[in-house]
Structure formats: C-alpha cells, structure tokens
Amino acid sequence: MTTQRIGYLGPKGTFTKMAVDSLFEGGEFVSYETIPACLDAVENGEIDTGVVPLENAIEGSVHLTIDYLIHQVNQAIIAELTVPIRQHLLTHPDYHGEEITEIHSHSHAIAQCHQFLHKHYPNAEIFYTASTGRAAEVVKEKGPHAAAIGNHLAAEMNGLDIKESNIHDYDNNHTRFAVVQKEPKTLQVKDHPVEKHKTTVMVTLPQDYVGALHQVLAAFAWRKMNLSKIESRPMKTGLGNYFFLVDVDQPYDQILFPGVQQELEALGCKLKVLGTYPSYEIDVPAPVTK
C-alpha cells in the first residue's frame, strides 16, 4: 500500500494539525499556508487528501473554503471531523510566579478568552500575532513575563507549560474540518467511531423569488430527510444572488436524493452533491496543567 499524502492548513501547532494527528493512521503530512494553496495541491495531485476548516475556525476564512470548493476546484468532501476548541494560557519554562505583563495570541483567540483576560489579567498588554502557534514561539523568545494563548500542541512544540487550561469563555465551541479528495482513495484512519453519515448539497435558485427556499426545503421535508445545517451564501456573480448549502443527516442513496434532485430541477433549481461522508468527532486529551 502506498503512503497516503495528506495536506492541511498550517502552520504547525494549529487546531487543524491537532485534528489531522488525531484522525489519520500514518502517512506523510504537508503543511500549507492558505486554504487555496492546500486545495490547489489536491487539484494538481501533489497530495492525495486535503484537510481544511469548514466551520468556526480560528486560522482560516471558512467562507473561502466553500467558495473555493465550488468555484475553483473539482473535489469531493469524503469525511468531516469536529474538534473541540480548547484554549490554554501558556507560560515560559522559566516562569515561577512572576507577574505576567504581556499576553500574545491570534486576535480570534484573544477574543475567545475575552472574559478570562478581563478578570485575571486586566493590566497585561495584549500583542496580536498571525497565529496561535506563532504566539507560542514569541513567548519562548520573550521569557517568563510573557504568556501565550494557544492549544496544547503549541505548548508541546515550543516547550511551554500550560499554566491554566480551558480559559476560553464558551464551552461547546467546535471547529469542523472537511477532508477532500479529487480522486477517491482509501483513507487510513485510526479507530474512531463514526458519529453519523452526512451528505452536503448545494442548491442554486433560478432567481431571488419569495418563498423559494421554503419550496426547496419542502422537497426534503416530505421525504422525512433531516437537515442539520443550512446556510445561504452569495454567488460571485453579484449581490442578491444566493445559493444554499444544505447538510442532510443521511448518506446519499439512489432513491430519495435523485427524487429531490428531479423535483428541484422541475422548479428551475440546480442541485450539486459536494460529498457524502462519515462524520468523526474527535476529542483531544486533557492537558496537564503546571
């Protein structure tokens, strides 16, 4: 069996890399700096499989993933994985209770820990970095008066300690990743339970008419197909033209989905299947607090 080549949105020490490490059983891992670069690499065969954020990510613009999948490349979603977002306060190995005067992180991570920082470090100066991984590097250089906000992988990779764990303001924050391929190849994944099977479709409306979306959803509803997510997104052809992304809570089949498709086409809509796939929920090990 040839080695699977998996690309992901980097840099190292990100939530994406944590997800990749947890899911895949072996393989060669390649980090890409942007979502388009990762998807291009799948398209031109540099890698077999790409992993990019699909919802609620810190590192990448999620709309860009959807738009690029729809407009620029011809790839299918073959799996999804959700990972909890857990932010920790990371300190220098020489830290021994000194005052922390500087806190470094990505602006989204700072925002996610807003109430924690307000309560515990109201006087620390905040510095914004391009990623949470970069923040950990900076703290390693700066010394014990500086701390970073990031995940446990960023701590490990830079030899930092986790002073306080789970400092994010909200629980139940997850990032959702899409695993995409151009040519279907077998994935070698660790022994994770498959939470459920889902199918993602894109529905394009002929024009912006009253009640159109309601008619589209009727085609799913009377077949008792459950929708777990729906989102309208503007087409790139101008303001006011929308398409809909719909997640259906069941695998693609040869009866219900073709039935929906025919019904929607009769209404002047188009339906495109972006993927039918297993959904993995991956928990990350609880970190050791120093």
Choice from 61, 101, 262, 289 touching its own copies (CB under 8 A) = 61
Tell me the C-alpha distance between 250 and 276, whole Å. Answer: 8
Tell me the C-alpha distance between 21 and 189, whole Å. Answer: 10
Q: Identify which of 285, 289, 279 has the alpha carbon closest to the alpha carbon of residue 82.
A: 279
Choice from 30, 31, 36, 197 touching its own copies (CB under 8 A) = 36
Of 64 and 157, CB closest to its own copies: 64
CB of 64 to its own copies, least distance (A): 6
Tell me the C-alpha distance between 167 and 174, whole Å. Answer: 15
Q: Identify which of 249, 276, 111, 103 has the alpha carbon closest to the alpha carbon of residue 179.
A: 276
- Residue 236 touching its own copies (CB under 8 A): yes
- Residue 59 touching its own copies (CB under 8 A): yes
Tell me the C-alpha distance between 63 and 53, whole Å. Answer: 9
Tell me if residue 281 falls in helix, strand or coil: strand
Choice from 28, 45, 63, 143 touching its own copies (CB under 8 A) = 63
Tell me the C-alpha distance between 223 and 260, whole Å. Answer: 9
Of 18-26, 121-129, 159-167, 282-290: span binding its own copies (CB under 8 A): 121-129
- Residue 119 touching its own copies (CB under 8 A): no
Of 113 and 187, CB closest to its own copies: 113
Site of tokens 């299947």:
273
Of 21-29, 94-102, 186-194, 232-240: span binding its own copies (CB under 8 A): 232-240
Show contacts with its own copies in window 253-272 (CB under 8 A).
none
- Residue 102 touching its own copies (CB under 8 A): no
Tell me the C-alpha distance between 12 and 9, whole Å. Answer: 9
Tell me the C-alpha distance between 208 and 190, whole Å. Answer: 45
CB of 148 to its own copies, least distance (A): 13
Tell me the C-alpha distance between 85 and 82, whole Å. Answer: 9
Of 167 and 187, CB closest to its own copies: 167
Show contacts with its own copies in window 159-178 (CB under 8 A).
169-174
Contacts of 111 (CB under 8 A, 6+ apart): none
CB of 165 to its own copies, least distance (A): 19
Of 67 and 290, CB closest to its own copies: 67
Residues 151 and 88 sit within 8 Å (Cβ to Cβ): yes
Of 17 and 95, CB closest to its own copies: 17
CB of 10 to its own copies, least distance (A): 10
Choice from 22, 30, 46, 108 touching its own copies (CB under 8 A) = 108
**In the chain, which ranges are continuous DSSP H helix?**
15-23, 35-43, 62-71, 107-112, 114-120, 132-142, 152-158, 212-221, 256-266
Residues that bind its own copies (CB under 8 A): 33-37, 40, 56, 58-61, 63-64, 67, 71, 82, 106-108, 110-112, 114-115, 126, 128-131, 134, 169-174, 208-211, 213-215, 217-218, 220-222, 224-232, 234-240, 242, 244, 281
